[in-house]
Amino acid sequence: MTPGAIVRLAILILLLAFLLAPQSFAPVFAPLTRFGAPPIYNQGSLLDITLSHLWITFLATLASTIVAVGLSILVTRPFGKEFLSLSRSLANVGQTFPPVAVLALAVPVLGFGTEPTLIALFLYGLLPIFENALTGLTNVPRDVDEAARGMGMTGWQRLVGVELPLALPVILSGIRVAAVISLATATIGSTVAARTLGEVIIAGLTTSNTAFVLQGGLIVGILAVLLSDALSALERLLARRAGLTRRAEA
């Protein structure tokens, strides 16, 4: 195990220890409080809030992935090329409208809660996944594609058996970017009553309790780093396998 992996494992264990027994860390955060304020967030379970935050991030990223990859497959087929500009414009919508603006527009329709946050994160994650999926699918080696055609594979068989496996590392790179952005951005969901780690930060800001703010920020930051590292490692693994596939089929 590399030193970097050991450090990440230690950070993960420390995070789990904090989430499972936060009061054990009270002496660490006590110097950041004033006037006898509680050093550990006490308006709910930090573990439950963190799991809710991760669940919202997962659902939004999954929805973005399904739509973005589906659009990229559509526009890379002969019958769907004319929809490329429209699909790219759709994917750009999430980057054009800030998540706060999406929340403001969604709340009157969907009400307060998780749904507006999911919509905002879903839109925000479309662009990186779509562009990466498009790049991966359009850069499949020509000789590999011709070999698949020569073997008599249908368009669907080439897509599932050749194109998507070779494009997967690039697609996963876009998913990683979208997931990390969603993980960090999900904190704003607490402004519309979604259960995210934003409520810990907001509680700290409204009560001038720096310990709460630091706890919420640290949990989100550590989760983002660990998630990014895990998906990066998976990308490298898939890239190596894709390289072996190309050499075998060449």
Q: Residue 159: which pLDDT band, with cuts at 50, 70 and 90? A: confident
User: Containing domain of residue 77, as a range?
Assistant: 45-249
Is 90 among the domain residues?
Answer: yes
Is 125 among the domain residues?
Answer: yes
Q: How many domains does the chain have?
A: 1
Is 3 among the domain residues?
Answer: no
Secondary structure element (H or E) that encloses residue 244, with its range: helix 210-249
**Whether the predicted model's global pTM rises above the 0.85 cut:** yes
CATH number, residue 207: 1.10.3720.10
Mean pLDDT confidence for 29-39: 92
Is 177 among the domain residues?
Answer: yes
Token pair recorded at residue 134: 């498009």
Q: Residue 245: which pLDDT band, with cuts at 50, 70 and 90? A: very low
Mean pLDDT confidence for 132-160: 84
Is 29 among the domain residues?
Answer: no
Is 6 among the domain residues?
Answer: no
Q: Is the pLDDT of residue 248 over 50?
A: no
Residues 71, 90: contact at Cβ < 8 Å? yes
Q: Residue 221: which pLDDT band, with cuts at 50, 70 and 90? A: very high
Report the sign of the C-alpha dihedral through residues 34, 36, 39, 42, in that order. Answer: negative
Is 12 among the domain residues?
Answer: no
Token pair recorded at residue 75: 């526009």
What proportion of the chain, given as a percentage, has pLDDT over 90? 59
Is 1 among the domain residues?
Answer: no
* Residue pLDDT, tens place only, 106-121: 888 888 989 999 999 9
* Residue pLDDT, tens place only, 161-181: 888 888 999 999 999 999 999
The top-scoring range by mean pLDDT among 90-94, 148-152, 199-203 is: 199-203
